Structures are given as C-alpha cells and as structure tokens.
Amino acid sequence: MHESLVPPENIDDYTPQEAQEFRTERNVVEGLRQLGHEVQPLGLLDELGPLSRAIEEFKPHVVFNLLEEFRGITAFDYHVVAYLELHGVAYTGCNPRGLLLARDKAISKKIVHYHRIRTPRFVAFSRRRKVRRPRWLEFPLIVKSLVEEASFGIAQASVVYDDEAFAERVQFIHERVRTDAIAEQFVEGRELYSAVLGNLQLNVLPTWELFLDGMPDDALRIATRKAKWDLAYQKKHGIDHGRARRLGDPLERRIADTSRRICRRLGIDGYARIDFRLAENGDLYFLEANPNPDIAAGEEFASAAEAAGLTYNALLQRIVSLGERRSAP
C-alpha cells in the first residue's frame, strides 16, 4: 500500500473523512487477520528496497496488492506488480499487462471498440501537443485524466459545451492533474458498475448503480470526485449506491456478458470493476475498466459481492486464493 495509507493502530483521533483515506487498507488488514492470516502492512513510496527486504525476510505466501501509484505516478503501479512476477512472488489482483492496458482509457477503448463493444467517441490529448478538437467530436464532451482513477480531476466543470470551456478543461487536466487528457462524448444516463471476480473463469456479480437522484436540478448526474469521496457532500445530496434498479434479466445478462468480454480483451484477471453509462434509449456504453478497484467494506465491489452471497472476509479470502492459484506452477 502507499506509505501514507498504512492504517494506524488507533483511529480515535481521526475524523470520519480523514479515516476514509485509509479505510480500504484498514478493512483489508483487519479482515485478513480475522481470517487467521499473518499480515505485515508494507508502505511504499518511491523505492523498492522495503519490498525486496520484506520478500526476503517475511517470505510472504502472497502479497495483497493495494498499491495505486509509485513515485507519485499512477501508471507505475504495474511496474511494481511486474517486479513481484520477476521474483516469483504470488500477488493478488490484476497482472501487469491487464493493468497497463486498462490504465490508459484511450487504449482500452480502442481495443474494446475493435471488438464491437460500444464506447463514447473520444480523443486523447497529450501534454506535449497542441490541443485541437476534431470537428467530428461534437459537444457536449466530458474531459478527464487519461490514466487517473477514483474520479480524480472530475467535477461538474468537466462537462463542456463550447471550444473555450473545452480548451480550459484540457489545460486543467494537463497542469493541475499533471496527466494527459481524454475528451469523450458525454452520455446522459445512469452510472452502472459491474464487478468481475476470477482468473480464467470470470464470475460477474450483481450490477451496481451510483444513485444521484438527490443532486440539485441544475447539476449533471456524473460521478465527480466529491460525489464519490466527500462524505458531507454525499449526505447533503443523498448520494448512495446499491443494486441497479429496474434493469431486467436481459439487460443484466448483457452487462455481465459484456463485462467478461472486456476483461478478456484487456487481459484483466483477479478482480475488476467495469464502468458503464446506460443511455436513456437503452444503449450501453463502456466507460473504463478498473482492475484492483476499491474493496473497502460497504463500497460498490464489496456490496455487490455481499449481494451475491459473499461476506466481506469471504471476498478477501477469494481474492487471496485467486492470487495464489494464478501463481501456482
């Protein structure tokens, strides 16, 4: 896990919002210990020495990978997983190739579009090139980071309706988020999440939805950073998540089948969350794939697992077993 997210022994001095920062790490460590595992939390920041020493001295049966960045760069997470593979150490979650392909939203969209899975029209904008919107990319557009997850950099201002606002938002991603940007067709509709668990055999859990009904009338129904992580904002606007409403069996099956196809085309294994936008006319759009998503107790993935009959600790054990099984000779 990231060095700053190693959970403290006592959280009494932390506010709920502060404790939210390391909630996943704390849930996982406590859950694994309740299962009887010997656990050594390990924080990484910008060098692999601590990991190398832990492999040599602790000799883990499996590394539970909660790392989402390395040296402050999100896209470096798969290098750490590759390091574990080179050392023959079992690990949980997705393999390096799947992390690499899924991390870049443009690459993942190109691959799944080639395999006839509907995606919004899009263009990526490198920090090293002039920003120019192609004529065929029509407004409204949503501008996001090409590689960041957890809605980082997404706000109500991310949806733009003219070239001036478009250029400003791309510049914001380049300068403030410090990544390349992607601008894609904005699809009005519902935010759906499909949780996938497995290596070769992929088990799709019940479809989950982010409910944004309580947002102000003039606000867009999108998963902004505040909507996803700000507890006070969620409470104020009644933002919640739960099993998707009124989908019907045919659509549930289509979402599950599409999620499996996406994972296989991108080489994703372990566990992942596939994000979709369901348009008002019933069209289903692939937004992004999130290998190793947030698995805090009560969040979307763990809640979908519970709806499928897996307790939180049973989910953790399944993830551990998948990591060990994939790495077995």
Q: Is pLDDT above 70 for 127?
A: yes
- Residues 302-323: what's their mean pLDDT? 97
**How much is the pTM?**
0.94
- Give the model's pLDDT for residue 214: 85
The Cα–Cα gap between 109 and 102 comes to 9
Q: Is pLDDT above 90 for 229?
A: no
- Residues 221-249: what's their mean pLDDT? 88
- Give the model's pLDDT for residue 129: 83
Alpha carbon dihedral 317, 152, 43, 7, in 10-degree steps, equals -70
Give span(s): CATH 3.30.1490, the chain: 121-185
Q: Is pLDDT above 70 for 195?
A: yes
- What is the Rg, in whole angstroms, of the alpha carbon atoms belonging to the chain? 20
- Residues 210-235: what's their mean pLDDT? 86
Q: Does domain 100-106+110-117+189-327 have CATH number 3.30.70.20?
A: no
For 121-185, the fitting CATH number among 3.30.70, 3.40.630, 1.10.3470, 3.30.1490 is 3.30.1490
Give span(s): CATH 3.30.470.20, the chain: 100-106+110-117+189-327
Residue type, 302: A
The least confident of 180-184, 185-189, 210-214 is: 210-214
**Exposed e or buried b per residue across 129-143, where buried means at least 16 C-beta atoms within 10 angstroms of its C-beta:** eebebeeeeeeebbb
Q: Where are the beta strands (DSSP E) in 141-267?
A: 141-145, 159-160, 181-185, 189-198, 203-204, 208-211, 240-243
Q: Is pLDDT above 80 for 308?
A: yes
Main-chain dihedrals φ then ψ at residue 208, nearest 5 degrees: -110, 160
Residue 329 pLDDT class (50, 70, 90 cuts): low
